Protein backbone atom coordinates (compact mmCIF):
# COMPACT_ATOMS: atom_id res chain seq x y z
CA UNK A 1 0.00 0.00 0.00
CA UNK A 2 1.35 3.36 -1.04
CA UNK A 3 0.17 6.78 0.07
CA UNK A 4 0.69 9.18 -2.84
CA UNK A 5 0.95 12.84 -1.75
CA UNK A 6 0.07 15.51 -4.30
CA UNK A 7 0.60 19.15 -3.36
CA UNK A 8 0.31 21.20 -6.55
CA UNK A 9 -2.69 22.00 -8.70
CA UNK A 10 -2.75 20.07 -11.98
CA UNK A 11 -2.84 23.48 -13.67
CA UNK A 12 0.60 24.29 -12.18
CA UNK A 13 2.34 20.92 -12.13
CA UNK A 14 2.21 17.44 -13.68
CA UNK A 15 2.57 15.57 -10.37
CA UNK A 16 -0.97 14.21 -10.37
CA UNK A 17 -0.78 13.12 -14.01
CA UNK A 18 2.58 11.43 -13.39
CA UNK A 19 1.29 9.67 -10.30
CA UNK A 20 -1.82 8.05 -11.79
CA UNK A 21 -0.14 5.32 -13.89
CA UNK A 22 1.52 3.99 -10.73
CA UNK A 23 -1.55 3.96 -8.45
CA UNK A 24 -2.87 0.51 -7.61
CA UNK A 25 -6.25 -0.48 -6.17
CA UNK A 26 -5.06 -0.60 -2.55
CA UNK A 27 -3.20 2.75 -2.70
CA UNK A 28 -4.46 6.13 -1.50
CA UNK A 29 -4.03 9.51 -3.17
CA UNK A 30 -3.82 12.38 -0.69
CA UNK A 31 -4.54 15.81 -2.15
CA UNK A 32 -2.90 18.59 -0.15
CA UNK A 33 -2.86 22.36 -0.57
CA UNK A 34 -3.65 23.56 -4.10
CA UNK A 35 -3.94 20.02 -5.46
CA UNK A 36 -7.54 19.91 -4.23
CA UNK A 37 -8.34 22.22 -7.14
CA UNK A 38 -8.16 19.14 -9.37
CA UNK A 39 -11.56 18.10 -8.08
CA UNK A 40 -13.11 21.29 -9.44
CA UNK A 41 -12.39 20.12 -12.99
CA UNK A 42 -14.58 17.49 -14.70
CA UNK A 43 -11.56 15.79 -16.32
CA UNK A 44 -9.90 15.14 -12.96
CA UNK A 45 -13.15 14.26 -11.22
CA UNK A 46 -13.64 11.48 -13.78
CA UNK A 47 -10.05 10.26 -13.59
CA UNK A 48 -9.96 10.23 -9.79
CA UNK A 49 -13.51 8.93 -9.17
CA UNK A 50 -12.62 5.20 -9.12
CA UNK A 51 -9.60 5.77 -6.86
CA UNK A 52 -9.19 6.10 -3.11
CA UNK A 53 -8.75 9.89 -2.80
CA UNK A 54 -8.57 11.91 0.42
CA UNK A 55 -7.96 15.57 1.22
CA UNK A 56 -7.45 17.61 4.35
CA UNK A 57 -10.57 19.33 5.62
CA UNK A 58 -8.51 22.39 6.59
CA UNK A 59 -7.26 22.78 3.00
CA UNK A 60 -10.82 22.64 1.68
CA UNK A 61 -12.01 25.16 4.26
CA UNK A 62 -9.05 27.51 3.67
CA UNK A 63 -10.00 27.75 -0.01
CA UNK A 64 -13.71 28.26 0.67
CA UNK A 65 -14.60 25.02 -1.12
CA UNK A 66 -16.53 23.23 1.62
CA UNK A 67 -19.82 23.23 -0.30
CA UNK A 68 -18.32 22.47 -3.72
CA UNK A 69 -16.27 19.53 -2.43
CA UNK A 70 -18.75 18.18 0.12
CA UNK A 71 -19.07 14.95 -1.93
CA UNK A 72 -15.33 14.25 -1.53
CA UNK A 73 -13.72 12.40 1.37
CA UNK A 74 -12.12 14.90 3.71
CA UNK A 75 -9.99 13.97 6.70
CA UNK A 76 -8.36 15.61 9.71
CA UNK A 77 -4.64 15.92 10.42
CA UNK A 78 -4.94 13.00 12.86
CA UNK A 79 -6.47 10.81 10.16
CA UNK A 80 -3.71 11.88 7.77
CA UNK A 81 -1.08 10.76 10.28
CA UNK A 82 -2.89 7.41 10.62
CA UNK A 83 -2.92 7.00 6.85
CA UNK A 84 0.82 7.69 6.76
CA UNK A 85 1.47 5.05 9.40
CA UNK A 86 -0.84 2.45 7.87
CA UNK A 87 0.69 2.56 4.39
CA UNK A 88 3.96 0.75 3.71
CA UNK A 89 5.33 3.65 1.63
CA UNK A 90 4.66 7.37 1.29
CA UNK A 91 5.60 9.05 -1.97
CA UNK A 92 5.49 12.81 -2.41
CA UNK A 93 5.08 13.75 -6.05
CA dihedral 33, 38, 41, 42 (to 10 degrees): -140
pLDDT bucket at 19, cuts 50 / 70 / 90: very high
Q: How many domains does the chain have?
A: 1
pLDDT bucket at 58, cuts 50 / 70 / 90: very high
The predicted structure's pLDDT at residue 75: 97
For residue 83, what is the domain's CATH number?
Answer: 3.40.1260.10
pLDDT, average across residues 19-29 = 96
The predicted structure's pLDDT at residue 81: 97
**Range of the structural domain that residue 13 is part of:** 2-92
The predicted structure's pLDDT at residue 62: 96
pLDDT bucket at 78, cuts 50 / 70 / 90: very high
What is the C-alpha separation between 27 and 88, in angstroms, rounded? 10
Amino acid sequence: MILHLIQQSPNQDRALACCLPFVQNHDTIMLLGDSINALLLAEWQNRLQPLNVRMLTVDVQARGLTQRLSHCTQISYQEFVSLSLNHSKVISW
